[in-house]
Structure 1
């Protein structure tokens, strides 16, 4: 106990640095999204559909291979969405921030199995998954 009192600064530094290391994992868990490997499994085994909610210019600059572009602002009532509302949808954007909002919108529209891709396109690229570019 005397060690802890005498070296309170070292103990506090260790606790703070440990908390900083755990924070990204806690944030990912709270977001409720899925990782790239789970997304690929949904796409390959359950005919999941990738929906990119980025703006058209961002989408043209680079998007996940096979993703459909439906900007977040045009998500409600978009014709690019699958008619079958039981198909798994994996929603992504550049970083994952907009896709979390899109999940809520799609669930309100009656889509049953909607997930946000944690980390967005950045995580997709980091996993060395295919990225395409298209004309703006």
Structure 2
């Protein structure tokens, strides 16, 4: 260990660009993790969503494209187009104190919707990490069709 510490300044001097890149990547990872910990919604795994469904009967909102929703969706999920998603809508506003889980096909677009729900005063907001594809990969039951 002592030998490593003596050679470190020489290594850094010889590989300045490499060390700077390492520090930048490390800082980016730390910022991402810190912001993930501070956000006011949580990401669920398919198993975590199953537990939430069994314990608290959450409102499931699927923001997938209509064709993707009709091919497969989590049973009980309600389809809403992302362009029509409005946290202030009267039906959604009634669920302000219920757990709300936002999902889409692959889990990439649900973060913005979750942030909008939190901003609108929803207290229990979740996203499904990996979306409906993660649900399918976990070999959990899927529904088909528009309902």
So what's the TM-score if we normalise by structure 1? 0.71
Shift in CA distance, 133/78, structure 1 to aligned 2, threshold 3 Å: farther
2:76 corresponds to 1:66: yes
Q: Which runs of 5+ in 1 are unaligned?
A: 6-22
Cα distance per residue 1:43-86 (max 9 Å; x no partner)? 11012121101122221121111111112211114455361311
2:43 corresponds to 1:39: no
> Which protein shows a greater Rg?
2
Count of residues in Structure 1 that have an aligned counterpart in Structure 2: 118
Contact kept? 2:44, 2:128, Cα under 8 Å: yes
Q: Which runs of 5+ in 2 are unaligned?
A: 8-28
Cα distance per residue 1:2-57 (max 9 Å; x no partner)? 9xx9xxxxxxxxxxxxxxxxx9xx98x94951111111111110121211011222
RMSD of Structure 2 on Structure 1 (CA): 3.0
So what's the TM-score if we normalise by structure 2? 0.66
Return the offset for 1:120: 0.4
